[in-house]
Amino acid sequence: MSEGGWLFTSESVASGHPDKLCDAISDSILDACLALDPNAKVAVETLVKGREDKAFIVLGGEVTLAEGIENPDFVQVARDAAAGIGYTDHAIGMDARSEDSCEVVELITRQSTHINRGVVQDIDAQGAGDQGLMFGYACDETELFDGHKGRWMPLAIALAQALTREYRKRREDGTLDWARPDAKSQVTLLHDDDGNVVCATNIVIAAQHKDMIAEIGSEEEEQAWVRSKIIEHVISPVVPSSLINEETVIVVNGTGRFADPGGPYADAGLTGRKIIVDTYGGRGRHGGGAFSGKDPSKVDRSAAYASRWAAKHVVASGLSRECEIQLAYAIGVANPVSVRVDTFGTGLVPDEEIASLVNQHFDFRPGHIINNLGLKAPIYAVTASGGHFGRVPSDPSQFTWERLDEGIITAFQAVL
C-alpha cells in the first residue's frame, strides 16, 4: 500500500522469453494445422532448453486432421517459428536453423477418441472439449491515456505488454540491433482511493543484449548505455509522460548485465507458463487453463475469448467501469453450466440485469463461439506474445474478440 492510494503491478515477457518461445512454437503448429484443415483438433505443448553443446526443442501432444490430409512438418514449423523470433545463433541461446546445434524431438500422436466424439458435432450440439472455468475481464483504465484508448484493459498490463511489443519492434527494425529476443517488463501504478491511476512508481525492463564492453568501455558504461537506449526507444514511446515524475524508479537490467547467452540457454521454457501475462496481469481472475497450442474446440481458449468479448461490451457501453464474466463447462456438453457477471460495485444497473443482457446477446455454446469469432482460421501465432487481449489487430481476421458490435452496444445502453 502507498499513502493516499494503492499500488498494482503487472508484468509481461517478450517474444523471445523461453516460455513465450514455446507458446509461439505451439501456436505456429496450430496455425499450420488449421491452414490444412479448419476442423483440425490440436493440443500441442513445447519445451525448450539450451546447453553449451546443443539446444533442444521437444514437441508433445495430439493432432488429428481430416482423413487424407497429412500432418504438416512439425519439426520444420518449430524451427521456423524459433528462427523467426530471432534464435538464429547458438551463441545467444539457440540456432533453431541448425540440425547440428539444435535438436527437435517430436512426440505428437492423435487426439483421444473419447474427447473427439464430444466435439465433432454440428454448431448447436458441439460440446466443450473439456470441463473447466474461464474468466473474461474489462475495465476503463486505459481510456484516459492516448495511445491506449479503445483497449478497455487494466493500465498496468496494457503498458507492460506494450513495452515488450515495442522492444521486439525496435529490435527487429534495427533500432536496437544489439538487443536479443529475451526480455521482460514490469509496471507498477499508483491509484487514488477512487481507483484512478495517478502515476507510475516503478518501471522495470530486463533485456538480453550483445556483450559490448569491448566497444563501450566498462561494465558500468555498458549498463548506462543500455539503460539510456531502452528509456529512449522503448519506455518513452509507450508510457505516457503524464505518468512519469521525479519519483518514478526505472530499473533496466537490475542485476547489472544480461549479456549473451540467454534465452533457452539461461532458462528452460514451457508452453502455457505465462497465463497471467497472456490475460489481465493479475486484475480479474483466471480459470487456470492456458491458451497456446489449443484449437478452439478447447474452451480454455475459445470461451476465455468469448467472455472477454462480452465483458468488453459491458464496459464500453457504459454499464459499468469494470466487468468480469465467468463461464464454466462440462466436457461434451454445449451449454455452459454457469454464467456469472460481477461489476465489483461499479455497475449502473444490477449485475443480475447485466447478466440477463449478456445471455441475450452472446451465445456461449462452443460451436457458436467458434463461428461468431471466426476461430477456425490460422490466426493464433500472433497471439503468442504481447497479450491476447486489448490488442489492435493489423488484420480484421485477428483478435476478433476485441471488436465491438455497435448493435449490442446500443442494446446495452438502452437500459440506462
The one catalytic residue in 89, 143, 267, 353 is 267
Residue 83 appears among annotated catalytic residues: no
Catalytic residue among 17, 191, 229, 313: 17
Is residue 362 flagged as an active site residue?
Answer: no
The active-site residue, picked from 31, 130, 278, 300, is: 300
Question: Does the active-site annotation cover 41?
Answer: no
Write down the catalytic residue from 8, 11, 20, 43: 20
The active-site residue out of 8, 74, 135, 258 is 258
- Which candidate in 45, 278, 295, 351 is catalytic? 45
Can you tell me whether residue 352 is helix, strand or coil? helix
Active site residue 258: yes
Catalytic residue among 83, 224, 266, 268: 268
Active site residue 168: no
Give the active site residue among 165, 168, 298, 391. 298
Q: Which of 2, 3, 20 is nearest to 276 (CA)?
A: 20
Q: Catalytic annotation on 298?
A: yes
> Of the listed 165, 294, 308, 391, which one is catalytic?
294
Residue from 49, 56, 62, 210 carrying the catalytic annotation = 62
Q: Cα separation of 134 and 302, whole Å?
A: 9
Residue 235 C-alpha cell reads as 519506455
CA quadruple 397, 403, 406, 408: dihedral positive or negative?
Answer: positive
Q: Tell me if residue 274 is catalytic.
A: yes
Indicate which residue of 79, 180, 184, 321 is catalytic: 184
Helices (H) and strands (E) in the chain, counts: 13, 13
49 catalytic per annotation: no
Strands (E), 20-157: 41-50, 55-64, 88-89, 94-95, 102-109, 132-139
Catalytic residue among 148, 274, 388, 391: 274
Whether 20 is a known active-site residue: answer yes
Told to judge if 11 belongs to the known catalytic residues of this protein, a careful annotator would answer: no
Catalytic residue selected from 165, 180, 229, 273: 273
Task: Give the other-Cβ count within 10 Å of 129's Cβ.
Answer: 27
Quick one: which of 125, 164, 159, 161 has its CA closest to 144? 159
Exposed (0-12), middle (13-18) or buried (19+): which is 114, by Cβ within 10 Å? Answer: exposed
Query: Catalytic residue positions?
Result: 17, 19-20, 45, 62, 184, 258, 267-268, 273-274, 294, 298, 300
